Chains A and B, each alone.
Chain A
Amino acid sequence: MPDQSVTLRYAERFLDGFLTTAWICGVSICAAVALGLALFLVRRLPFAPARWFYDGYVGLLRGTPFLIQVFLLYYGGPGLGIRLSATTTALIGLSVYGSAYFAEIFRAGFEAVPRGQVEAARMLGFDRGQILRNVELPQMAALILPPSVNQCIILIKESAVLSVITVPELTTVATRVVSETFNFAEPYLLLALLYWLLVEATARGGRWLERAAGRHLTTTKGLTP
């Protein structure tokens, strides 16, 4: 029978796990966005091998399960002389996995910026860097916001997979509490609830950001004839 005190007794460990999940996701998401932007810029380079590299990278990371990428890095790494701790594997794995998706989000957002604007900016004497900074990126920012928030949520959920290599995150904590107490229902239901709260909070934050960005967009639209 479920022992009602289990969850309370282990509240501190659940909190620890929750915070570990939160910081690993936070750091990885920031790294994934930066790496994704770098990848997107590589793809824009004017020679074919850059594009092949991009297509291979994105294809490999999006075409295989995150779980096997974690296994390859954690258990396969030593075969290549790379020995990583579980937490380092988690950070690298999640960042690299996320970067492929963010690069594609940047690419789609970039393609949605009308070509005429880029041509007009070039006519006005802007160089490539200026066009990217002053014309393309600001417009992309509004377009890529909804898919980016969605991707953050996907990465938060994928982070549960890291329990398989015993990263001390939320799912690991719940599984350990289960094996210590033989109480299945409470820890696992609490686990689901905590993820749901984290995901819901992220989604709400994202909608708030979208509204803020949307206000900015409407004013701009109102000004254009």
Chain B
Amino acid sequence: MKSVTFLTVLFSLATALTAGAQPSFSGPPPSRTVVHDASVRRAQYLQRINEALDWRIAAIDRQNVAGTVDLAAVSALLARHQDIELCNQRVIELMKTPGSGPFWMFPTVCVSFLGRDQLSAEAKAAIRTAWKSFQIRGDTENHWAMYYTSVYLMSELYPNDPAESWFNGKSSAENRAEARAYLISWMDLATTVGQGEYNPSHYIGEYAIPMMLMARWAQDPAMRQRGHMMLDWIFAGLAESTLNGVLHGPNSRTDEGSVVERWNALASVFSWVLFGNTPPIAGYGGWGNYFMAIADSYEVPAVIYLIATDRSAPFLQRDLARSRRRWRYSAELFMPVYKTNYTTKHYAVGSYQGGISDPIQTHVWDVTWDVTDPRGIHNTMFSLHPLASNHVLQMYFSELPDTMAQDITKQGKPSYTLAGKIVGCSPYEQVFQDLDTVVALYDIAPGVEFPQVNGFFSKDLINVTEDQSGWIFAEGGDTYLAYRPLAPYHWEAYRHFDGGWAAKQEEIGGRLLVSPHLKNGTIVQAASAFDFKDFEDFKNAIRRLPVEFSLKPKPAVKMMTLRGHDIVVTYGEAPTRDGEKIDYAKWKLFEGPYLNAEKNSKRLVITHGALQRVLDFNTLTIADTVTQP
């Protein structure tokens, strides 16, 4: 069959609306002052929610309700208890042509619950009737989070309906039981060995919104609590993986826009509304509108807020995640993903160990530097092997062998089969990160498409210098960067698809360092400009670093990092740091100053200073403590 399983709607009417001001989107960047007063924080949080609702409602054109009143607009109106007749009218109209899966289901759930005591009987009946139309469950973790949350809540809303009244021929009780079982199974997996779709730039909404729905409206107190705890869990992960609100790598699933312009992601909408430390993207990211309609019932935990906003001291977090489910060509159902996140005031370096995490949309590693205003800035550096492979796709998708790659390019991932792409991961890449040093080695098999390494050099780098030493030096914001290609290279203009449905590529600035060699590698060292007298001082420090590397028989690097650690990285072998082998088997679910959890524990300890919140899925409890000085 023609694959529909990996398609995703990342667009909604809301992103296309232009009417009305979006103050935080178009205004000056938000203050980075950490707000310690809980009541002020709460007031600012609600203010941001209201800004988004104001904008969405202002975008309604009474002369063009069909074009401007979608389910997100209805949700905003219902949240404000206004224009209920318009809501009734639009719901009845929209339900005449039901959608066909999770991206339609959760918005209708949102409307159903917001409108429980407001919508007319006819409008409610229209939704209920639409839910008799067959709904596709999808095949990804986010699809199922949306689908089963929606099924669960609707089956609670209509608890006694018979099997024939539901799209899948199962009664309310059966649907509720199945949905509950899956959601608990998913939470068990995420809280023991990690999430599959970790740190997604856009899909965070596809988890956060369903969990918010669950936390707000599940009748079963245990499920309501689970929703709340998963929200905290997801937002704690967002907090530690952002630099002043901007999500950095690695990312299980992302796209060109977010990889190049790190801020340009739905994740920024969540940073904005929860933490107030970065502007939201246009239209509040489309899906973000649903979150705004229901988010007033959520209290951002102080400890998570502080982790997100406090960048006064560098920190190192190590997290465990997992790959997408592998159907074939693999000895394991999930590949463990060992993430490293080193964040300072001026930059963040993030990575996982390489290999295929998601076959299409993964971003393995990067350095992301801070900028005062991230809008339009390409504040990142990374390299990758641009793999395109039907065989790899078949690992993850139950598809026939010949057409997947070409299909993907027509289904929202237009760069998949291009040599110059900048999104993706490869089985021929191995990455080791030690604080702000990254060594990425490549041993690309002969015959593989495309036999090259692409390094991304942003338009916003300055003083890019190809040094005789072999290093390429550059400055990004207050960050000094040194990039060492291990094989010969040339430069190509970076060509960009502006969105998944863009028909053609455009040059938007930036270059690719293209190294067309199978045996290959990249070393990147980042540092704060404030740690050096000047850029030249940094260059000299890098030139003095002992670095040895060879590419045959296997790429290997032996070097001392700028932080004074001896690292040895050989492709296909465990890296060593100061003579000690990195033992990934000992990797915890979370380990660092902020987030800590043992593997298989279902218990996350979130800490910042004196504040601590423990999410314990074994007991379904949230425990807050404050350590007295």
Q: Are A and B part of the same complex?
A: no
